[in-house]
Structure 1
Amino acid sequence: MPPAIDLRLLRYFLAVAEEGHLTRAAQRIGIQQPPLSQQIRLLEKELGVTLFNRLPRGMELTESGTALLADARLILAQVDSTVASVRRIAQGKMGRIAVGFTESASLHPFVPSVIRAFRAAAPDVALTVEETNTNELVEAVRKRQLDLAFVRSPVGDASGIVMETVLEEDMVAALPSAHALAGGARSKSIALAALADESFIMTRRPSGPGLYDTLIAACRAAGFSPRVTQEARKNLSTLSLVAAGLGVAVVPASMMHVNAEGVRYLRINDAPGLKAPLHLAYRDGEHGGALGLMIDEARRLSAKKPRRNEA
């Protein structure tokens, strides 16, 4: 078998070869001259060759030493590059990350803010994104198809998944602008109970089971069961149906950023428990590298925001 060369010996060799003098090489690498001389002799012994001619005023490479010099530079450069890459991966500055989000989460300014901050901190990380419903995102995280997901409230099995709340926002009523309950320009709120006789437009439960169930429970607490006449696959479609006058909807307050023509948003003043949380979903025990960096960015931005009334 070929000899296993200690990389430290190669670094000592490179210093002596480049300096051409033991004393200067020893000063360069921060050790005493006698130990350095011993290490060079050890390397020569391991290789079975003479690497230097010892001169009265320096060290001169032999033919074997000259051959080793070029390879030593390449080997050490590759090792240094590999070590730097591994460290950057551990720091979250290299590698890849797969992120998912629900449609309603993606419409909240918080989510693109986190992604922008992450890209600024780690421009060399390959980032892929996916949009689907909460339950599918949680399952994708569990199956390692995604590293992290921005989700609302999951329904069903979330074992092995950390659900870290990063914010909580109110839900608001979305009414057709011409609706009698939309009120005048000064009207900014409405009671949920006032919508008891209205036709409700809701996002289909599989698309957002947590928010769906939260709204049903809030309506029942207000004394009625909502009469759902239309269901849409996405929140934006829900707003389109509201604008068309087909009914009313209750959506996360961040949807107020969507300037949908023909839709009037009103705060709900009698349902304090009607909230839309936003969670980070990731596998329990896994939060290093690029994933850890994105979690850190989300926590940092979350700390700057109020936990409620995110609109």
Structure 2
Amino acid sequence: MELRHLRYFIAVAEEGHITRAAERLGMQQPPLSQQIKAIERELDVQLFRRKARGVEMTDAGRAFLQEARATLGHLDRLAETTRRAARGEQGRLCVGVTSTAPFHPLVPRAIRAFRDACPMVALTLEECLSNESIERLRDERLDVAFIRISPASPGELAVVPLLEEAMVVALPSRHPLAQGQADSAISLRSLAGETFILYGPPGTGMYDATIAACHAAGFNPRVGNLAASTQQAPRIASTLSLVSAGLGISCVPASLQRLIIDGVVYRSLAGADCPRALLSLASRPGDPSAVVKQFIGAVRKAAKDFS
């Protein structure tokens, strides 16, 4: 029995008349009658009682109609599911997000746009440092990731630069430089004697950007706390907590000013030596996933509003 036989049967059952069903199907009445009889022979049951003005379903016919409709309905859903998957509108996606990225409006806007366009994709977000995201992409534990590393750094990965934002300095609220006007900018060179709390390990975007900017301003930053010179904060929340505690200062992306923490004051940096924070989207080159392509497209489109 083929799927077309189910369609023949359903047409006859719904029309209650073989001639009208044949017209609906675009075929002649005799071949349709033969097909219905062939189905009955194969099932070894009577599906219709022949009457003078049409046909009437038997109990077996009504049961067969219910299952035939369910079978064709499942086939239609299967076909549509397959087409959605091919378009990248259904499936699974795991996105790595460095902890500073969600504070820039681009990231939540792009994710919302993707969710609106592809509501049937199961989306998972994982917070990672940029270097962790890169490793997870290589190991195929992530599909795509927002990172704070130069596009040239991740090697074999495909990296789409999204935007570059200024960095500001986070100061303890009791720091002398925090006492001026909120919109007053300070020079990076004026921070030469400060203890810097750096976010992430060397090789991550903001760590390297801060070091490079300090060197360009003519000094080597003192990294660490009062007791040691090796302290680094693994996450941005711990970075700002250390600043709040008065253990040092930190350069962070300007979008982090949305994060209000008691005891922390943000000040703009003046001059050409100011560090810049890059935000990029990384993925595996040549990834055949249509879902990944849909997500990259949504992020690229959202990024145009910030270019």
TM-score by length of 2: 0.81
Residue 79 (1) aligns with residue 72 (2): no
**SS state of the match for residue 100, structure 2?**
helix
Q: 1:93-132 to 2 correspondence within 5 Å? A: 93-132=89-128
User: After superposition, what is the alpha-carbon deviation per residue over 1:247-292, rounded to whole angstroms, capped at 9, x for unaligned?
Assistant: 2211111111111233222222223673212122222223644434
- Evaluate the alpha carbon distance shift between residue 155 and residue 225 of structure 1 in structure 2; reply closer, same or farther with a 3 A threshold: farther
- Evaluate the alpha carbon distance shift between residue 37 and residue 299 of structure 1 in structure 2; reply closer, same or farther with a 3 A threshold: farther
Q: Which amino acid aligns with 2:106?
A: F
- In the TM superposition, residue 102 of structure 1 has moved relative to its aligned partner by 1.4
Residue 229 (1) aligns with residue 224 (2): yes
- Evaluate the alpha carbon distance shift between residue 51 and residue 293 of structure 1 in structure 2; reply closer, same or farther with a 3 A threshold: same
- Evaluate the alpha carbon distance shift between residue 88 and residue 193 of structure 1 in structure 2; reply closer, same or farther with a 3 A threshold: same
Q: Which amino acid aligns with 1:286?
A: D
State the partner residue of 1:9. Answer: 5
In the alignment, the residues of structure 1 paired with residue 87 and residue 141 of structure 2 have an alpha-carbon distance, to the nearest angstrom, of 21
User: After superposition, what is the alpha-carbon deviation per residue over 1:37-63, rounded to whole angstroms, capped at 9, x for unaligned?
Assistant: 536635755885586677664355578
State the partner residue of 2:167. Answer: 171
Residue 33 (1) aligns with residue 33 (2): no
In the alignment, the residues of structure 1 paired with residue 51 and residue 169 of structure 2 have an alpha-carbon distance, to the nearest angstrom, of 89
State the partner residue of 2:181. Answer: 185
**SS state of the match for residue 246, structure 1?**
coil
In the alignment, the residues of structure 1 paired with residue 165 and residue 39 of structure 2 have an alpha-carbon distance, to the nearest angstrom, of 68
- In the TM superposition, residue 197 of structure 1 has moved relative to its aligned partner by 2.3
- In the TM superposition, residue 121 of structure 1 has moved relative to its aligned partner by 4.0
In the alignment, the residues of structure 2 paired with residue 11 and residue 278 of structure 1 have an alpha-carbon distance, to the nearest angstrom, of 55
- Evaluate the alpha carbon distance shift between residue 295 and residue 40 of structure 1 in structure 2; reply closer, same or farther with a 3 A threshold: farther
Q: Which amino acid aligns with 2:277?
A: A
Q: Which amino acid aligns with 1:291?
A: V
Q: 1:194-205 to 2 correspondence within 5 Å? A: 194-205=190-201
Residue 24 (1) aligns with residue 25 (2): no
| Identity across matched positions, percent | 44
Which deviates further from its counterpart, 13-22 or 119-128? 119-128
User: After superposition, what is the alpha-carbon deviation per residue over 1:177-217, rounded to whole angstroms, capped at 9, x for unaligned?
Assistant: 333333521652122222222221212315x6122112211
In the alignment, the residues of structure 1 paired with residue 190 and residue 91 of structure 2 have an alpha-carbon distance, to the nearest angstrom, of 52
Residue 248 (1) aligns with residue 244 (2): no
- Evaluate the alpha carbon distance shift between residue 193 and residue 26 of structure 1 in structure 2; reply closer, same or farther with a 3 A threshold: farther
Residue 139 (1) aligns with residue 139 (2): no
Count of matched residue positions in the alignment of Structure 1 and Structure 2: 298
Q: Which amino acid aligns with 1:147?
A: D
TM-score by length of 1: 0.80
In the alignment, the residues of structure 1 paired with residue 259 and residue 103 of structure 2 have an alpha-carbon distance, to the nearest angstrom, of 8
Q: Which amino acid aligns with 1:10?
A: L
- Evaluate the alpha carbon distance shift between residue 27 and residue 82 of structure 1 in structure 2; reply closer, same or farther with a 3 A threshold: same
For the 8 Å contact 1:173–1:265, the answer to whether it is kept is: yes
- In the TM superposition, residue 19 of structure 1 has moved relative to its aligned partner by 1.0
**CA RMSD in angstroms, aligned pairs only:** 3.2
User: After superposition, what is the alpha-carbon deviation per residue over 1:92-145, rounded to whole angstroms, capped at 9, x for unaligned?
Assistant: 444322222111123333333333443444444333222121122122122221
Q: Which ranges in structure 2 are unaligned for 5 or more consecutive residues?
A: 226-231
**SS state of the match for residue 261, structure 1?**
coil
